[in-house]
Structure 1
Amino acid sequence: MAYTEKFQAMSDAARARVDEVAPEDVDALIAGGAIALDIRDPDEHAKTHIPGSLNISRGKLEMNVEGIITDLDATILCYCNAYNRGALSAASLRDMGYANAKFIGGGLNAWKKLHEED
């Protein structure tokens, strides 16, 4: 998908200021208590998602997250299909005080690729 120059610049800036988690590390982080946060729209989440993940769409993230994830120290692994929305969401969460908000590099697509043989 082709993105506008300004959107891509915002996404790139977000990626530069939050930590990226490798897809191969996601399962172990979740097993250790990290929260997988699918920030795609509910219809996208309904089709496929990382098992056990929470779903708060990007458009409602800042309005709803505090009522769902109350621990500001929780490790939160934001993801979308690839990078951009996940990185933007992690950056927003960091701005809200969630110190361990990160994003999954390559998003759901990269995570699914690792699990194709499962």
Structure 2
Amino acid sequence: MESEKRPEDVVTVDVQVAKDLLQKGQLYLDVRTVEEYNKGHVENALNVPYMFLTPEGRVKNPDFLAQVTSILKKEDHVVVACNSGGRGHRACIDLRNAGYEHVKNMGGGYSAWVDSGFAGDKPAEELKIACKFRG
């Protein structure tokens, strides 16, 4: 099919650009497993696992697109991320093929977010202020 999106059709942004997009109101779709998400995530993140861990290994969530469609509109602007970038990239391809034109993959995923000093659950600025008050 000529209209199928290819991996090179996915826009990947670094964590600083992703953070700026989120501050401008874009949505954050975390495609990690529920277990990964529960260990820490970006504030206001929406969680729809792209894959599940099974005894046989990782398997793609057969309901991924249906679950995303239930919480996101095709015209929404969305930053997609997993733990290191791979699942997020594949999720972006599937989303683009399903008609989501405004999706971007966050390069490096949540690991890069944490490594950049951006906290999960709260913006870094709020944490800095909280630390000042603790003295």
Partner amino acid, structure 1, of 2:78: I
* 1:63 Cα deviation after fit: 2.1
Residue 106 of structure 2 is aligned to residue 104 of structure 1: yes
1:58-87: CA deviations, max 9, x gaps? Answer: 0132121111002x1211111111111000
Aligned residues: 104
2:84 to 82, 85, 89: 82
* C-alpha contact (below 8 Å) 1:35/1:53 kept by paired residues: yes
* C-alpha contact (below 8 Å) 1:35/1:74 kept by paired residues: yes
| Unaligned residue ranges in structure 1 (runs of 5+) | 1-12
* 1:116 Cα deviation after fit: 5.8
**Matched residues in 1 for 2:43 and 2:111: separation?**
14
Partner amino acid, structure 2, of 1:108: Y
Larger of the two Rg values belongs to structure? 2
Identical aligned residues as a percent? 27
1:7-62: CA deviations, max 9, x gaps? Answer: xxxxxx62x22000111112210111111100011111000111111000101321
Deviating 4+ runs (over 6 angstroms): none
**Matched residues in 1 for 2:93 and 2:25: separation?**
20
| TM-score between both structures, scaled by the size of structure 2 | 0.72
Q: Which has the higher helix share?
A: 1
| TM-score between both structures, scaled by the size of structure 1 | 0.81
**Matched residues in 2 for 1:56 and 1:85: separation?**
12
Equivalent position of 1:52 in the other structure: 44
Secondary structure, aligned partner of 1:99: coil
Aligned-residue CA RMSD (Å): 1.6
Residue 67 of structure 2 is aligned to residue 64 of structure 1: yes
